[in-house]
Chains A and B, each alone.
Chain A
Amino acid sequence: MENLTANLYLLWPEFLLAGLAFVVLTADFFLPAERKNYLALVSILGLAALIIFTTAFLLNRNAALYGGLILIDRFSLLFKVTFLGLGILMVWSSADFVKRYLSHPGEYYAMVLFSILGMVVMASAGELLTAYIGLELLSFSLYVLVSHAREDLKSNEAGTKYILLGAFASALLLYGISMVYGVVVQVGIPAPTTFEAIATYVARVNSLPVSFLVGMALIIAGLGFKVAAVPFHMWTPDVYEGAPLPVTAYLAVGSKVAAFALILRLFAQAFLPAIEEWQTIIAILAAATMVLGNLVALAQRNIKRLLAYSSIGQVGYLLMGIAALSASASNALILHLVGYGVTNLAAFVAVIAFYNATGKDEVADFAGLADRNPFIAMALTVSLFSLAGLPIFAGFITKFYLFLAAAQADMLWLTGIAVFASLISLYYYLIVIRQMYVEEAQVKTPLSLSWVTGGLLGLLTLGTVLIGVYPKPLVDVIQTATKAILP
């Protein structure tokens, strides 16, 4: 049995992050009201410092802590840095919202920091229970964030639906974990809930027993809830619509990236030997998700719901990457997660900017935006074109790579559905773009854009184009991450 504190120093980043969260939370009690908004800056600076520290500290370390509970490798490092960066963007995009509506910003930022901690644990987890704990930490923080607009009925409703369904999903997930535990431990493999042990078991057996399959199905249900795969997606439109906008953006990007990091590691390290058995069902889920997400998006009139369904559609492509799992599929998946993350965030921040200025979020309200504030209109157009997969933007290269991986795995039918779904998505993106450029605005006043939000928007738009035009450095980093889980 390993000495409990032997490798504890490797977890310094996590401890520091938790420390930062607590500091921000308690500082809120002591600071006078005018100073409270500095907490945003504190969080951002703290996160930035953590990025530098984590990269320097963990760059060349590889370890499996406590017999495989927590894995420190390139894969978890990549995601840790991603999540910390995402946190910075999240705090940045919430700045206007918090200043205007919240009297205790420290609580808000602390919740964001805790959620990042949860995400970090999810990406480093090498074992089912640890993954579950990270997942729950993330989920709890998100439940609080979604309900944060305390007087808003929609926010209350969204929070209630989210926690009830989320708890339900975690119950399913847990039951699945217990079934898997039961099956693997019966064979006598030590530390049966680690991914390594599960992989040993799966490789050993000729065909998976029913209880294992039921367990897997329940785990997929639980995780599918988190990423909004069909048919576990139904909470997404309501929760996205009801939550405060910056939180919606965070949900759309952050929780999906974290959950997919976990799913990727789980399937690549634990379930991979049995890929022929689960490939088809994941492919069917992927197809259903792509089709349903994009079809229903066609009918949406509210921009938040439209983006919600669009992100459900995007999850379909990611699931396609899981179904076709291989080294290149893994690369494609992570690349798409990053690219989609940047692009989706850009789209949401543009919507946030619009909402901060007008308080409206129906697609019809976007009429004439090109005249009122050409910068927001351009940023939104760039991100929507990228989501549709047009070349020179990030969306093209990331989607293309995913389609390639799926085609290489002989799933041409799925690739065809994906390309077709991408075509449908172009249509509803064009509707929004058309509103901005073609329609006449009802009210012609120009829209103001704060430097804070405008700067963020510019940064994200630039990122979208940059990834589309010069993805090489990013691809190289991702390839090292993939090698860590799929040697």
Chain B
Amino acid sequence: MITLVHVQVLSAGLFCIGLYGVLARRNAVLVLLAIELMLNAVNVNLVGIAAFVDHSKFLGQIIAVFVITVAAAEVGLALAIILRLYRNKGTTNVDQLNLMKW
């Protein structure tokens, strides 16, 4: 039997993997990928809650649809900005983003 707990553990796991990716990855595009993973973890959580706990069964799914849409838009925008950075600087390595500090 799959219960809410399974789904939430999966969600938390995905979230933490994504978190690790954000913190550890050097390539900006991969950081973005990791953030997407985190957002999808949220979606899993939402759908799971909707399925198992919500009487009306739909609110979580609706929120998930919104999140998917917004995440897609965010990725498009982020890639555009990263692309511009790449065109100007020649690299997407976040370590190289150190023009401004302290």
Contact = CB atoms under 8 A, between A and B. Distances in A.
* A pairs with B: yes
A168 interface: yes
A136 B46 contact: no
Contacts of A182: 8, 45, 49, 53
Interface of B: 8, 11, 15, 18, 22, 28, 31-32, 35, 38-39, 41-42, 45-46, 49, 53-55, 59-60, 62-63, 66-67, 70, 73-74, 77-78, 81-82, 84-85, 88-89, 94, 97, 99-102
Given A157-B100, A241-B100, A147 B49 contact: no
Contacts of B59: 181, 185, 191-193
28 contacts: A129-B62, A136-B73, A136-B74, A140-B74, A140-B77, A143-B78, A144-B77, A147-B81, A147-B84, A157-B85, A159-B84, A163-B77, A167-B74, A167-B78, A171-B15, A171-B39, A171-B42, A175-B15, A175-B38, A175-B42, A178-B60, A182-B8, A182-B49, A185-B54, A188-B55, A192-B54, A192-B59, A242-B99
A160 B70 CA distance: 18
B63 A156 contact: no
Contact of A174 (B39, B54, B78, B102): B39
Contacts of A144: 77
A151 B88 contact: yes
Interface in A153-181: 153-154, 156-161, 163-164, 167-168, 170-172, 174-175, 177-179, 181
Interface of A: 129, 132-133, 136, 140, 143-144, 147, 150-151, 153-154, 156-161, 163-164, 167-168, 170-172, 174-175, 177-179, 181-182, 185-186, 188, 191-193, 237-238, 241-242, 299
A177 B39 CA distance: 12
Contacts of B38: 168, 171-172, 175
Contacts of B11: 178
Contacts of A178: 11, 42, 45-46, 49, 60, 63
Given A163-B78, A185-B55, 15 more contacts: A129-B63, A133-B66, A143-B78, A144-B77, A154-B99, A156-B81, A156-B84, A157-B85, A158-B100, A174-B39, A174-B42, A181-B49, A191-B59, A242-B100, A299-B102
A167 B53 CA distance: 28
B35 A143 contact: no
B83 to A, nearest CB: 10
What are the 10 closest A-B residue pairs judged by CB atoms, nearest first?
Answer: A171-B38, A182-B49, A238-B100, A156-B85, A174-B42, A178-B45, A167-B35, A159-B81, A163-B78, A178-B46
A186 B89 contact: no
Contact of B32 (A150, A154, A167, A175): A167
Contacts of B35: 164, 167-168, 171
A84 B71 CA distance: 27
A299 B102 CA distance: 9
Contact of B84 (A150, A185, A242): A150
B5 to A, nearest CB: 11
Max chain B C-beta neighbours (<10 A), residue from A171, A181, A237, A241? A171
Nearest to B74: A167
A144 B81 CA distance: 8
B85 A185 contact: no
A327 B28 CA distance: 45
Contact of A186 (B41, B53, B88, B97): B53
Contacts of B8: 182
Contacts of B77: 140, 143-144, 163
B89 A156 contact: yes
Contacts of A159: 81, 84-85
Contacts of A136: 70, 73-74
Contact of A193 (B42, B63, B67, B99): B63
Contacts of A172: 38
A484 B84 CA distance: 45
Contacts of B46: 178, 181
Contacts of B54: 185, 192
B81 A143 contact: yes
Nearest to B47: A178
A185 B78 contact: no
Nearest to B60: A181
A150 B15 CA distance: 33
A32 B45 CA distance: 51
B77 to A, nearest CB: 6
A171 B100 contact: no
